[in-house]
Amino acid sequence: MTPAPPHRRSPAIGATAVLTGAFLFGLNGSMSKVVMQAGVTPEQLTLFRVLGTAIIAGTVLLATDRSQFHLPRRDLAWFAALGIGGLAMVQWCYSVAISLLPVGVALLFEYTAVVLIALFAWAVFKERVHPRLWGAIAAVLIGLAVVAQVWDSALSGMGVLAGLGAAVSYAFYFLVGERSVAGRPPMAVAFWAAAFASAFWLLLSRWWTLSPGALTADVAFGGSLDHVTAPMWVPVALIVVLGGFAPFTLIFISLRHISATASGILASSEVLFAFVVAWWWLGETLAPVQLVGAAIVIVGIVVAQTARERAREGPAPEGFGAGVPPEIP
């Protein structure tokens, strides 16, 4: 593949892009919760997200780079693993988690993937990691224990398991991509991963049980926006475009302008955005001690982002070879 032409790197553009993407992902959690409370299952919502992403990305490729539709068979196998084991499962686990937990808490559990990525890179790939990784792991575990209030089991056990499942899938999504498909254009990665994820959920989401009129029926946005109503397809479309495709692209734009580590740290602000949006929109609040635990987790996540030592971090590559996972649900 012909190398991309040189481009001018702008830290301001990179930071703005990743923060906007993080905000949109944080907003997506509350929007998704409204849709699921209206009767769409986590499996069906996951299908809508990945199928919409595949359609948008495929349309872009048709207009810009049709050669990306022709891949070697070995690449297709890796994309299948990436799409099903990573993209399909991380979005489903996250949807299940937010249906049972406060949105911000679900994201805290999912973002422990950052720690898993660094730990896996050290244990399996024999990469050097900074000693601060162990402090980050301790902070994350202690913070999660406080948020979950393990002393009285305040949170849904199934929700916690779903959040941890999202973390494992998210780490898998990143590691497989980083090692296997570096150099692919972002739209090709989006299309093929989402296409395989769509095929998986077309079989297992039981989309046919959704009433034909469900997407045209009015749904209230709930919480502080309970007075706002719209046909179901409106929030679903917003979830697909603003909660999936747009932030996905913005994260990649950021990697054109700032280092992967910087982008990863800024992307962690998604957790904060999710807490604020869910508090304002859905009235989801945490006890003061849980807020302290959340702060400890976020500090641990940020520290873990910098724990993987590389000889040099040059310009961000296309595709999945970057230092932050390419999509956060």
Pairwise CA distance, residues 33 & 28, whole Å: 8
Q: What is the pLDDT of residue 2?
A: 44
Q: What is the pLDDT of residue 161?
A: 92
C-alpha 37: how far from chain center? 21
- Residue 275 exposed, middle or buried by CB count within 10 Å (0-12, 13-18, 19+): buried
Point out which residues pair with 219 in neighbouring strands.
230
Residue ranges making up the domain that contains 104: 11-305
The token duo for 85 is 């084991």
Percentage of residues in the chain with pLDDT exceeding 70?
84
Pairwise CA distance, residues 207 & 125, whole Å: 40
Strands 218-220 and 229-231: antiparallel
Closest C-alpha to 277, from 106, 155, 112: 106
**Is there a contact between 105 and 259 (Cβ–Cβ < 8 Å)?**
no
Pairwise CA distance, residues 71 & 121, whole Å: 28
Pairwise CA distance, residues 191 & 168, whole Å: 22
Q: Say how many C-beta atoms besides its own lie within 10 A of residue 205's C-beta.
A: 23
326, part of any domain: no
- pTM for this predicted structure: 0.77
322, part of any domain: no
- Tell me what the mean pLDDT of segment 91-112 comes to: 86
327, part of any domain: no
- Tell me what the mean pLDDT of segment 154-176 comes to: 84
The token duo for 218 is 């009015």
5, part of any domain: no
Q: Which residues contact 209 (CB under 8 A, 6 or more apart)?
A: none
207, part of any domain: yes
320, part of any domain: no
Angle at 159 between CA 154 and CA 160, to 5 degrees: 75
Say whether pLDDT at 202 is over 90.
Answer: yes
Domain count, the chain: 1
Cα end-to-end span (Å), the chain: 29
71, part of any domain: yes
* pLDDT grade for 195, boundaries at 50, 70 and 90: very high
